[in-house]
């Protein structure tokens, strides 16, 4: 059986470490040039070098997005950049523009993936890219299982990458400038602020401050308000369609998202590759723990219908809250970087790379600096705790906390 790659987002070095800890085979990430600004969800040159070394030492892969749509005056710097990526031996670059594609071919021997932004929806276009030298195509999200199978059947030597989880667009794979105009964050450079999901009002210019609601029914308007893609319930069907790489969306999401989504799909993929696939509803439970919108299987089961949009609200939901990350193990205690408040007596879930979730009641907690016993730890502090569950560095801890937020966790 061929090995299928689980590909997680890595918005920064910490997310990269977490992705591999929870079972990703590869990560995709962006450098700091060819973005509209140097956002913290990108890697500088030193971090890129580190990322490649760290990943290769683990036997894992790194793909770098260069899916900008450059102007002619950007080409010299782009040429330098792709040469740099070649020098540090990244495992591939993800491009969408023909000029960038040609530049990578002329100046490097890097593997080339064609970005989902190129909107490949049929085997003819996939074959043309492949004939021109593309090793892999990241298919458009707007394809059904049958569409994917037809492409793989007609171009069997191309590697097919598909999105398995994350945000959906109401436009075809990011062909949208809403985020650029409203927030100066470029959807085509991995930085969409998702303004399509915001709530809008109408204001007449002579009546400043008088906001007229825009609605389609009593709940408001939802023409742009798509649900998130989640393929866990059709996972075996997707794998049987012939895909080679499974891409998790969300470079800007938090480490708990990277951890839980990678963990759930890792367990499902391991089950499939064991030859004895057995759907486990715990995988979906795990995916419910992180901030998300209602889930649908994207276009895999057919084109979106009236159930594919959010009708009632624009909020994100999650069942749990991450409270900390294990940073070290010292004298039988675990050093925890605290992310959300945690208290002695809390029922804590240990999210480990092993199947399932173990719980323990937090008993002993010490301030890391003073070593004094404390009962409450606040975000951005460091503590030492005892745990009845064996933990490893990079394991995350969380507590149950039904939560809804507008705009989602970032």
Task: Please give the residue ranges that form the binding site for ligand SF4 (CB under 6 A).
Answer: 167, 169-171, 174, 176, 178-179, 187, 192, 194-196
Residue 63 in tokens: 């793909």
Nearer to ligand SF4, 194 or 253 (CB): 194
- Closest approach of Cβ 171 to ligand SF4, in Å? 4
Nearer to ligand SF4, 4 or 170 (CB): 170
Please give, one letter per residue, the 3-state secondary structure of the chain.
CCCCEEEEECCCHHHHHHHHHCCCCEEEEEECCCCCCCCCCCECHHHHHHHHHHHHHCCCEEEEECCCCCCHHHHHHHHHHHHHHHHCCCCEEEECCHHHHHHHHHHCCCCEEECHHHCCCCHHHHHHHHHCCCCEEECCCCCCHHHHHHHHHHCCCCEEEEEEEECCCCCHHHCCCHHHHHHCCCHHHCCCCCHHHCCCEECCCCCCCCCEECCCECCECCCCCECEEECHHHHHHHHHCCCCEEEECCCCCCHHHHHHHHHHHHHHHHHHHCCCCCCCHHHHHHHHCCCECCEECCCCCCCCCHHHECCCCCEEEEEEEEEEEEEEEECCEEEEEECCCEECCCEEEEECCCCCCEEEECCCEEECCCCCECCEECCCCEEEECCCCCCCCCCEEEEEEEEEEECCCC
- Closest approach of Cβ 313 to ligand SF4, in Å? 17
Residue 27, strand partner residues: 8, 62
Residue 234 in tokens: 């059709």
Nearer to ligand SF4, 6 or 94 (CB): 94
Distance CA(161)–CA(138), nearest Å, equals: 5
- Closest approach of Cβ 173 to ligand SF4, in Å? 8
- Closest approach of Cβ 383 to ligand SF4, in Å? 38
- Closest approach of Cβ 138 to ligand SF4, in Å? 16
Candidates 170, 264, 176, 268; CA nearest to 222 is 170
Nearer to ligand SF4, 25 or 97 (CB): 97
Nearer to ligand SF4, 29 or 168 (CB): 168
- Closest approach of Cβ 175 to ligand SF4, in Å? 8
- Closest approach of Cβ 126 to ligand SF4, in Å? 22
- Closest approach of Cβ 46 to ligand SF4, in Å? 30
Candidates 251, 234, 246, 221; CA nearest to 299 is 234
Distance CA(7)–CA(24), nearest Å, equals: 6
Nearer to ligand SF4, 141 or 152 (CB): 141
Distance CA(62)–CA(41), nearest Å, equals: 15
- Closest approach of Cβ 96 to ligand SF4, in Å? 14
- From residue 280, give the alpha-carbon distance in Å to each of 265, 286, 406: 11, 11, 30
- Closest approach of Cβ 140 to ligand SF4, in Å? 13
Nearer to ligand SF4, 91 or 186 (CB): 186
Nearer to ligand SF4, 242 or 408 (CB): 408
Nearer to ligand SF4, 162 or 271 (CB): 162
Nearer to ligand SF4, 64 or 192 (CB): 192
- Closest approach of Cβ 198 to ligand SF4, in Å? 9
Nearer to ligand SF4, 268 or 296 (CB): 296
């Amino acid at each position: 059986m061929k090995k299928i790659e689980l590909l997680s987002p890595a918005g920064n070095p910490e997310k990269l470490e977490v992705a591999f800890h929870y079972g990703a085979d590869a990560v995709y990430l962006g450098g700091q040039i060819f973005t509209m600004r140097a956002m913290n969800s990108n890697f500088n040159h030193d971090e890129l070098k580190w990322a490649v070394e760290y990943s290769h030492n683990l036997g894992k892969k790194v793909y770098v997005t260069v899916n900008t749509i450059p102007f002619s005056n950007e080409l010299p710097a782009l040429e330098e950049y792709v040469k740099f990526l070649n020098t540090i031996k990244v495992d591939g670059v993800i491009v969408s523009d023909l000029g960038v594609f040609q530049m990578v071919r002329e100046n490097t021997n890097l593997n080339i993936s064609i970005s989902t932004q190129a909107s490949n929806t049929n085997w003819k276009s996939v074959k043309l890219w492949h004939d021109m030298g593309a090793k892999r195509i990241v298919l458009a999200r707007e394809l059904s299982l049958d569409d994917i199978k037809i492409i793989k059947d007609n171009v069997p030597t191309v590697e097919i990458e598909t999105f398995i989880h994350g945000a959906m667009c109401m436009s075809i794979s990011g062909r949208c400038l809403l985020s650029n105009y409203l927030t100066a964050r470029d959807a085509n450079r991995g930085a969409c602020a998702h303004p399509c999901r915001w709530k809008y009002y109408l204001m007449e210019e002579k009546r400043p401050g008088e906001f007229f609601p825009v609605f389609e029914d009593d709940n408001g308007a939802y023409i742009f308000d798509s649900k998130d893609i989640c393929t866990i319930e059709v996972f075996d069907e997707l794998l049987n369609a012939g895909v080679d790489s499974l891409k998790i969306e969300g470079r800007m999401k938090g480490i708990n998202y990277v951890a839980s989504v990678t963990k759930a799909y890792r367990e499902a993929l391991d089950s499939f590759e064991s030859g004895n696939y057995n759907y486990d509803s715990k995988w979906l439970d795990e995916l419910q723990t992180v901030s998300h919108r209602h889930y649908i299987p994207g276009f895999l089961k057919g084109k979106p219908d009236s159930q594919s949009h959010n009708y009632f609200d624009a909020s994100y939901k999650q069942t749990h809250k991450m409270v900390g990350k294990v940073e070290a193990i010292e004298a039988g205690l675990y050093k925890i970087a605290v992310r959300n408040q945690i208290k002695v007596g809390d029922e804590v879930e240990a999210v480990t790379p092993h199947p399932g979730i173990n719980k323990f009641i937090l008993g002993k907690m010490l301030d890391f600096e003073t070593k004094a016993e404390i009962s409450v730890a606040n975000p951005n502090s460091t503590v030492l705790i005892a745990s009845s569950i064996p933990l490893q560095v990079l394991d995350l801890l969380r507590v149950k906390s039904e939560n809804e937020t507008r705009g989602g966790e970032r």
